[in-house]
C-alpha cells in the first residue's frame, strides 16, 4: 500500500536548511556547489529523514543521488564501524559515480563509503570490508558474491536504496535483488528510484516496501542549441597534452576550464602557465581580494583561460566566453548543463569540449540522456594540425598588417632583397624569422613587458631572467619570493612564465625589497637577475 506525496511544484522558498539537514551536511552541499534543492531533493529528503519508504520516479539529471545520499549520511552513526546503508545500482560505472558523490557529500561527517563491483580485484574490496565501512555501493552480482563468501555483513543495514531499478530488472537482476533483500533486516527503510514504473517495479515495491510514499518529478529541457558540443576520448595521463593541442587549434578568445577539485585546478594552472598560457585559478581557497583580481584580469582579457571548480564558478559574474572545456567530466550530469551554460549566451554561438578517459564513457552517455542530444566525437588534433593552425594565424597577422598600412620603410628593404632573391623566398624567410622570434625585448632602461600594458592596480610587475628552459615553475617563483623576501604567498599576483624569462606581480610597496632579495637568490640552481619591468 502506498501513500501519495504532495504533487505541487517546489516552492521558491525551499532551501537545504529548511529540509532538516544538519550543519556538516549543509557544509558539504555548499562544497559541491548546490545552491537550492531540485524538486526531487525537496520532496524526497524530508520523507527519508522521517524514516518513510519511498518509490520515486525520476530520471538521471534530476539530482536524485543527493536526494537519497544526504538522508542516508545524516542517519549514519559514525561511532559504529558496520555497514548501515546499502545502495544497489545496475553497472559498475554507476556504482563508482554514486560512491564518489556520496563520499564527497559525507566528508565532513567522516563517513566511509566503499564501492563493490565486478571487474575490480576482490582482494581490495575484502580489505575495505574488513577495515569497516558505513555505506556500501555496489552491483547486485558482486554484493551477492560477498554475501555468499560471508565477507559482507548486512545485519546492521538501516537503509536500502535501489537506484535505476527498471534498468536493473531489464538486465536480469531481479533474482539477485530478491536474494539480497531476503538477507536484510526486516526493520529497515527502503527507497526505490526508477526512471519508469512498469508493473514489475510496482510488484517489487508492493512486496518489499512498507507504506511507501510515491514521488514523481518531471524534467525540463536543458540543452542549448547554440552550443557546439564535442568530446575527445584520451587516457587520463595524456589529458594535459591533449588540452594544449586543442587550445592551440581552437584558439579560444576566452575560455573556462573546469576541474574536479581545487588541487586539480592548481596543478593544471601551474602546468598551463609553465607552457606559456595565460591561465588563472578560481576556487574556494582564494580570498575576496584574490578572486576580484583574477576576475578583473579575465574580464579585461589579460587572462585567457579561467581554470575553476564547479563551486567557484557558480554565482560569479562571468562574461560571455567562447569555449567551456571540461578537463574532468562532472560526476553529476546536471553540473555539465551548468558548466556549458557559460557559453552560447544571448544567441551567440559557443563551444563545449569535454575530455573523457575510456572508463568515463558511461558518464558521457548519462549526460547525453539528460540533454536529449548526442555529443559529437572529435578527432584529437595532431602536432601537424597545430603547426598548420599556427601558420594560418601567422598569415592572418600578415594580412592585418597589410591592411593597416605603414609599410614604407619595410618596402624599401623588401625591394632590395627581391633584386637578389625570388619574392616568394623572401616572404617565406621573413615568415620563418617571425615565427621563431624570441618574445623577449631587452632595452637599456629595462626589459619590456610583452604580457600586458600595465600591472594590476597597486601591483608592480617584475622581470626575472630565468624561465621554463631552466626548469622553473610558478611554484618556484612563489617559494623564492616568500622565502627570500618574507612576502606572504597569497599577496603575489599573476605569474607569466616563458622559455627564457618570467614576469611576476608583487605589491608595489614591497617591490624593491623583492627585487633585492631575488638578486641574492637562485631558482633551480640558476642565479636570478630581477628588475622592475617597463610597460609595453
Least confident interval from 146-155, 190-199, 370-379, 487-496: 487-496
User: What integer pLDDT is reported at residue 453 of this predicted model?
Assistant: 45
* Greater model confidence, 394 or 212: 212
Q: Is the pLDDT of residue 223 over 50?
A: no
Q: If you average pLDDT over residues 29-46, what whole number do you get?
A: 86
CATH fold for domain 442-535:
Alpha-Beta Plaits (3.30.70)
* 2-216 shares its CATH topology with 442-535: no
User: What integer pLDDT is reported at residue 359 of this predicted model?
Assistant: 85
CA-based torsion, 258, 260, 266, 272: positive or negative: negative
* Greater model confidence, 458 or 504: 504
- Measure Cα distances from 286 to 289, 293, 314, 475 in Å: 8, 10, 15, 16
CATH superfamily to which 2-216 belongs:
P-loop containing nucleotide triphosphate hydrolases (3.40.50.300)
Report the relative pairing of strands 495-497 and 502-507 from DSSP bridges: antiparallel
CATH of span 227-382: 3.40.50.300
| Residue extents of the structural domains in the chain | 2-216, 227-382, 385-436, 442-535
% of the chain residues with pLDDT over 70: 87
Highest mean pLDDT, choosing among 29-38, 442-451, 452-461: 29-38
- What is the pTM assigned to this prediction? 0.50
% of the chain residues with pLDDT over 90: 31
Give the residue from 45, 83, 87, 85 showing the smallest Cα distance to 63.
45
Q: If you average pLDDT over residues 47-51, what whole number do you get?
A: 95
Average pLDDT, the chain: 83
User: What integer pLDDT is reported at residue 288 of this predicted model?
Assistant: 67
User: What integer pLDDT is reported at residue 316 of this predicted model?
Assistant: 58
Residues 67/217, Cβ–Cβ less than 8 Å: no
pLDDT digits (tens, 9 = 90+) for 326-343: 999 987 777 787 788 778
Q: Is the pLDDT of residue 443 over 50?
A: no
User: What integer pLDDT is reported at residue 312 of this predicted model?
Assistant: 58
Q: If you average pLDDT over residues 81-96, what whole number do you get?
A: 89
Q: If you average pLDDT over residues 433-444, what whole number do you get?
A: 44
Q: How confident is the model at residue 61 (pLDDT cuts 50, 70, 90)?
A: low
- Cell numbers found for residue 250: 581552437
Amino acid at each position: 500500500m502506498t501513500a501519495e506525496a504532495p504533487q505541487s511544484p517546489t516552492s521558491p522558498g525551499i532551501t537545504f536548511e529548511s529540509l532538516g539537514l544538519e550543519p556538516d551536511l549543509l557544509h558539504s552541499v555548499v562544497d559541491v556547489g548546490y545552491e537550492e534543492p531540485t524538486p526531487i531533493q525537496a520532496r524526497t529528503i524530508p520523507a527519508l529523514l522521517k524514516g518513510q519508504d519511498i518509490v520515486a520516479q525520476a530520471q538521471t539529471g534530476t539530482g536524485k543521488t543527493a536526494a537519497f545520499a544526504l538522508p542516508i549520511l545524516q542517519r549514519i552513526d559514525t561511532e559504529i564501524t558496520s555497514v548501515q546503508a546499502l545502495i544497489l545500482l545496475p553497472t559498475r560505472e554507476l556504482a563508482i559515480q554514486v560512491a564518489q558523490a556520496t563520499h564527497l557529500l559525507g566528508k565532513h561527517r567522516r563517513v566511509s563509503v566503499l564501492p563493490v563491483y565486478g571487474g575490480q580485484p576482490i582482494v581490495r574490496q575484502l580489505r575495505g570490508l574488513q577495515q569497516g565501512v558505513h555505506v556500501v555501493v555496489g552491483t547486485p552480482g558482486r554484493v551477492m558474491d560477498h554475501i555468499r563468501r560471508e565477507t559482507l555483513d548486512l545485519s546492521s543495514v538501516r537503509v536500502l536504496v535501489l537506484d535505476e531499478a527498471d534498468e536493473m530488472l531489464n538486465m536480469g537482476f531481479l533474482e539477485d535483488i530478491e536474494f539480497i533483500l531476503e538477507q536484510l533486516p526486516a526493520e529497515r527503510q527502503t527507497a526505490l528510484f526508477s526512471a519508469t514504473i512498469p508493473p514489475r517495479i510496482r510488484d517489487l515495491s508492493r512486496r518489499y516496501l512498507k507504506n511507501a510514499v510515491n514521488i514523481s518529478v518531471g524534467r525540463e529541457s536543458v540543452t542549448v542549441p547554440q552550443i557546439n558540443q564535442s568530446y575527445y576520448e584520451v587516457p587520463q595521463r595524456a589529458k594535459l597534452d591533449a588540452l594544449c593541442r586543442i587550445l592551440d587549434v581552437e584558439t579560444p578568445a576566452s575560455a573556462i576550464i573546469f576541474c574536479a577539485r581545487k588541487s586539480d585546478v592548481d596543478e593544471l594552472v601551474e602546468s598551463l602557465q609553465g607552457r606559456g598560457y595565460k591561465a588563472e585559478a578560481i576556487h574556494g581557497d582564494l580570498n575576496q581580494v584574490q578572486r576580484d583580481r583574477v576576475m578583473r584580469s579575465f574580464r579585461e582579457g589579460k587572462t585567457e583561460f579561467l581554470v575553476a571548480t564547479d563551486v567557484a564558478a557558480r554565482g560569479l559574474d562571468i562574461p560571455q566566453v567562447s569555449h567551456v572545456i571540461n578537463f574532468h567530466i562532472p560526476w553529476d550530469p546536471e553540473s555539465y548543463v551548468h558548466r556549458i551554460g557559460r557559453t552560447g549566451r544571448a544567441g551567440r554561438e559557443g563551444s563545449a569540449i569535454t575530455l573523457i578517459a575510456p572508463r568515463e564513457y558511461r558518464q558521457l552517455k548519462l549526460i547525453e540522456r539528460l540533454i536529449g542530444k548526442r555529443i559529437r566525437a572529435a578527432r584529437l588534433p595532431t602536432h601537424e594540425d597545430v603547426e598548420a593552425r599556427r601558420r594560418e594565424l601567422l598569415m592572418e597577422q600578415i594580412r592585418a598588417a597589410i591592411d593597416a598600412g605603414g609599410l614604407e620603410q619595410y618596402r624599401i628593404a623588401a625591394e632590395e632583397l627581391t633584386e637578389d632573391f625570388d619574392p616568394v623566398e623572401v616572404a617565406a624567410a621573413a615568415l620563418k624569422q617571425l615565427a621563431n622570434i624570441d618574445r623577449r625585448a631587452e632595452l637599456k632602461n629595462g626589459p619590456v613587458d610583452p604580457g600586458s600594458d600595465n600591472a594590476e592596480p597597486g601591483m608592480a610587475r617584475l622581470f626575472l631572467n630565468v624561465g621554463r628552459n631552466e626548469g622553473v615553475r610558478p611554484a618556484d617563483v612563489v617559494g623564492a619570493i616568500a622565502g627570500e623576501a618574507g612576502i606572504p604567498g597569497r599577496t603575489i599576483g599573476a605569474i607569466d612564465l616563458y622559455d627564457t624569462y618570467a614576469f611576476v606581480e608583487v605589491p608595489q610597496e614591497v617591490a624593491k625589497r623583492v627585487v633585492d632579495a631575488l638578486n641574492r637568490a637562485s631558482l633551480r640552481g640558476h642565479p636570478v637577475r630581477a628588475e622592475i619591468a617597463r610597460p609595453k
